[in-house]
Every structure is written in structure tokens, then in C-alpha cells.
Amino acid sequence: MDSDSRQLQILGFARTRGRVEVLGLADELGVAAETIRRDLRLLADRRLVKRVHGGAIPLESAAFESSLDYRSRVDLAQKHRIAAAAADLLHGAETIYLDEGFTPRLIAEKLADRELTVVTSSLLAAEVLADSAGITVLLLGGRMRGRTLATVDHWALRMLGELVIDLAYLGTNGVSVEHGLTTPDPAVAAVKGLAVERSNRRILVAADSKFGMSSFCRFAEISDFEALVTGEELPPVTAQNFEALGPAVIRA
């Protein structure tokens, strides 16, 4: 197998499995570990994967966005800690926005016993809260994205644009000092950006792997948020760099 074909196969494995390991790939593809390391370096240089200890994870782009199944398997323990810490920041809010994605779904679980009005584009979050006696769910209409089970486009924007929301919990595909908060899909960016505009307070929930990353469409600035809630895995020096732009960084 030539190097280009091997790198395409490695990228496919990363996107399907969520993570690839150097030694496992070397055994599976019948090449030396150093060959795999070189392949991963080249893929990382092309911003297709991110190197992590012992292997790599896929980077999201306009051409690739991870599925909910992938998100529910990667950084799972960290995401549960993030959701619990984020739920503790409610601070009397009566109306909240819950973004699409797996971590906002976990936040929904944490808030299910509260008395709230919850606006969401996420069918998963709405389902979690459907039987909660104290919560009124307003599900944004629109085109459903099968990959994330969330609504987008002008129906969602029209409904969201008529609301004033106390607190928004938002996720992101990438957050960087240079580019702020980004996501691969323009339709998703439009909903996220309007949620930022229509909310009085905003909290970002993002695993440490999202920091330093950027995607196709910017939807918010870091300074728009009062807090960035992530995992304790985020290096303290990185947290300080983001705190210098305004928000508190909470490492759960």
C-alpha cells in the first residue's frame, strides 16, 4: 500500500472510531510504528487529525463532522463532569437555551428536576426533559440534521429571534484565541450565533480537546461568555490564555 492510500485509510479509521493508536495501526496495517507516526504527523499538518498521546483523534471541518454516536463515546467521563459543573451555574435563571450536542443533553439530565422553561434545537435534550413535571420545553422547528438530531434554518431562527433568554448553554466544535468559537456547518452557526444574541448570559461547555481548534464558521467571540466550562485535562496555562479574554475558565 502506498503512503497516500495508507493515510486515507488511517483518516477513515480515525473518523469511524473516534481515536486511533500508533501501535494498533502499525499491527493492523503491517508497517513500522515510526511509519504510522510519520503518517499522523502529515495528517496533523494538513489539519485532518490532532495528535494525542499514543495516537490521534479526527479534527472536524466543513467536509467532516462527528456523529452523536462518536461524541457519546469520546471524553465521556469528562463530559459528565462538565455537565454537572455547568448545571451549577444556573444562578436563578428561569429560561435557558440548550444547544445541540451530547454535553448539552447531559446538562438536560442535570436540570430535569428544576422548574424552568427550556428552549432547545436538540431533539435529544427535549426527549430527556419530556417527562419532567417542572419544565416547559420549547423545541425550535425547522430542518432536522440527522447527524446531530437538531433543527436549523429559517423556522428555527424565526422562533428563536422572538425570545429573550436568561442563560444559554452552548457547545462548539472548536474554540481558539485567534478565531473564537467555530463550527463546520453555516446553518448550525446561524442558530448558535442567534442564541448568543438572544441570551443575557452565556456559558460554553467544551471538552479540552476542542481548545486550540478552529472550524469553518465562526459564531461567537470568547468575550461573549461569562464562563468556559471544560475538563481538568485542560492545561492551566491554556486556561489562563482564555481567561485573559474575559470569561472564567472552570476546569471540572
Compute the average pLDDT of residues 102-112: 96
pLDDT of residue 69: 63
pLDDT of residue 248: 98
Question: Based on the domain organization, do 161 and 221 belong to the same domain?
Answer: yes
Question: Based on the domain organization, do 53 and 165 belong to the same domain?
Answer: no
pLDDT digits (tens, 9 = 90+) for 22-54: 999 999 999 999 999 999 999 988 888 888 889
pLDDT of residue 74: 65
Question: Based on the domain organization, do 16 and 90 belong to the same domain?
Answer: no
- CATH code of the domain containing 44: 1.10.10.10
pLDDT digits (tens, 9 = 90+) for 109-144: 999 999 999 999 999 999 999 999 999 999 999 999
Question: Based on the domain organization, do 166 and 44 belong to the same domain?
Answer: no
**In a domain? residue 171:** yes
Question: Based on the domain organization, do 147 and 200 belong to the same domain?
Answer: yes
Q: Which domain holds residue 30?
A: 3-59
pLDDT of residue 60: 73
Question: Based on the domain organization, do 77 and 191 belong to the same domain?
Answer: yes
Most confident of 26-30, 207-211, 218-222: 218-222
Question: Based on the domain organization, do 180 and 151 belong to the same domain?
Answer: yes
Most confident of 6-20, 24-38, 184-198: 184-198
- CATH code of the domain containing 158: 3.40.50.1360
Question: Based on the domain organization, do 106 and 204 belong to the same domain?
Answer: yes
Q: Residues of the chain with pLDDT > 70: what percent?
A: 94
pLDDT of residue 73: 60
> What does pLDDT average to over the chain?
92
Q: Looking at the whole model, is its pTM more than 0.85? A: no
pLDDT of residue 16: 80
pLDDT of residue 139: 97
Question: Based on the domain organization, do 51 and 75 belong to the same domain?
Answer: no
pLDDT confidence band for 65 (50 / 70 / 90): low
CA torsion angle 141 86 189 42 (round to 10): -130
Q: What's the structural domain count of the chain?
A: 2
Question: Residue 70's beta-bridge partner residues?
Answer: none
